[in-house]
Amino acid sequence: MSQDIAMKGGGYYSLATLGAKHVIDSAIPMALEAIGQMPTGKGPFVFTDMGTADGGTSVDLVTAMVEAVRRRWPGRQIAVIHSDQPRNDFNALVATVHGQASIEGVFPLMSATSFYRQILPSGSLDLGFSATAMHWLSAKPYDITGHVQAVGAKGEELAAFARQGKADWQTILLARAGELKHGGRLVMANFCRDEQGRYLGHTGGVDMFDSFNEIWREFLAAGEIREDEYRAMTLPQYYKNLAEFTGPLTDPEHPVHAAGLRLERAETRVVPCPFAAEFAVKGDADKFARAYIPTLRSWTESTFFAALDPARTVDSRQAIIDRYYESYEARVRANPAGHGMDYVHAYLTIVRI
């Protein structure tokens, strides 16, 4: 994965992304079902949380997993591997999961290995989990013309992002096939384009990615950034549809299918933006704007900051970034109707036969 990508640290991510936690909480029944379907195993039960960030959004799922394993296999030791890329804020992660170390027989561990590689020894993983992470591409195929995300791309540019997304998904699945025990499972909730064409921040009302783009174009027109900096704002992301997710698992000729991975369950869900939902009830535009923008900032800032010319001083680049999010906040405060970041995910359960 591009080393310019990192979630905002210091515990900021979990505090700002309540909706991401709701996505994971809604996957808890799938994880418990997966545990119930696994064959009786020997040795420790091994679980991975891939793309864990600071661990706060998945803490309740991990707790539920530990309790379910203990009910099914009393006394069985449990290894919980929290994995993210090297630039992740592991200090914040340790602070979040430290309490698990006090539970007898539960061993929280950290890995700075990207999910684009095999994280664990072959045949050692019982249950792998990942949410809201695998839309990040290993490389950016293009700086998109006239937009900041592949949802605004067309023609060859869009096709290039689709090819990259397809190749990356194969890489991710083959790495997991190597790790999983026979009968082990993956539970994943990935950003997607659903059957109605909806995606993150585009479920009706104001399109979030169009808003990102419009504000940067305002900065470009005002001379605050240059054309080359604007083009570099492209987020290295691609949202697959359900067929793109499931194809490698159902096609007998595909290398992923040949590696033993099979689809057990696939569906799309929309989890409402909690900040927009609160605004709909209370009508406080100022509170909505102040709460909403940090969740956008938590996962976009590192890309946008890296796009600014490094010849600028760090302080000047940070000032541009701060003004950018202040502009978005002012836009939401002035006209809050329709803004929101509903989460659109493909939920998958995959088994290693």
Whether 249 and 351 have beta carbons less than 8 Å apart is answered as no
In a domain, 35, yes or no: yes
Whether 274 and 294 have beta carbons less than 8 Å apart is answered as no
Which pLDDT does position 102 carry in this prediction? Answer: 74
3-state SS, 298-321, equals: HHHHHHHHHHCCCCCCHHHHHHHH
In a domain, 150, yes or no: yes
Which pLDDT does position 5 carry in this prediction? Answer: 52
Q: How many domains does the chain have?
A: 1
In a domain, 265, yes or no: yes
Which pLDDT does position 339 carry in this prediction? Answer: 98
The DSSP H or E segment spanning 327 is helix 314-334
| Beta strand residue intervals within the chain, DSSP E | 45-50, 78-83, 106-111, 125-131, 180-191, 261-271, 343-352
The CATH number of whichever domain residue 121 belongs to comes to 3.40.50.150
Task: Report the candidate in 193, 194, 188 with the shortest Cα–Cα distance to residue 261.
Answer: 188
Which pLDDT does position 244 carry in this prediction? Answer: 98
Which pLDDT does position 16 carry in this prediction? Answer: 58
Which pLDDT does position 2 carry in this prediction? Answer: 44
Both tokens assigned to 285: 């535009």
The edge-to-edge listing of strands for the beta sheet with 261-271 is 106-111, 78-83, 45-50, 125-131, 180-191, 343-352, 261-271
In a domain, 5, yes or no: no
Whole-angstrom distance, CA of residue 315 vs CA of residue 62: 39
Both tokens assigned to 337: 């109707």
Whole-structure pTM value: 0.93
In a domain, 308, yes or no: no
In a domain, 100, yes or no: yes
* Domain carrying residue 39: 12-201+236-272+342-352
Per-residue pLDDT of the chain (353 residues), as tens digits, is 444 555 544 444 555 568 999 999 999 999 999 999 999 988 999 999 999 999 999 999 999 999 999 999 999 999 999 999 998 999 999 998 877 667 899 999 999 999 999 999 999 999 999 999 999 999 999 999 999 999 999 999 999 999 999 999 999 999 999 999 999 999 999 999 999 999 999 999 999 999 999 999 999 999 999 999 999 999 999 999 999 999 999 999 999 999 999 999 999 999 999 999 999 999 999 999 999 999 999 999 999 999 999 999 999 999 999 999 999 999 999 999 999 999 999 999 999 99
Which pLDDT does position 15 carry in this prediction? Answer: 53
In a domain, 217, yes or no: no
Both tokens assigned to 38: 């696994």
Q: Three-class SS of residue 12?
A: helix
Task: Report the candidate in 208, 206, 207 with the shortest Cα–Cα distance to residue 296.
Answer: 208
In a domain, 36, yes or no: yes
